[in-house]
Amino acid sequence: MSVDIRPFRSSDLDELQQIRELAFAPVFRSFRAIVGRDIAAVALASAEAEQAQLLAGMCAAGSSERVFVAELDGQIAGFAGLSLDDNTRVGEIGLNAVHPDFSNQGIGTQLYRFAIATMKAEGMKVASVGTGGDLSHAPARRAYEKAGFGVAIPSLWMYRSL
CA distance 138 to 156: 16
| pTM over 0.85, yes/no | yes
Summarize pLDDT for 89-109 with one digit per residue, the tens.
999 999 999 999 999 899 999
Report residues of the chain scoring pLDDT below 70. Answer: 1
**Integer Cα distance of 38 and 3 in angstroms:** 42
Q: How far apart are the first and last CA of the chain?
A: 51
> Would the CA dihedral through 143, 148, 150, 155 be positive or negative?
negative
- CA distance linking residue 82 with residue 8, whole number of Å: 11
CATH number of 4-146: 3.40.630.30
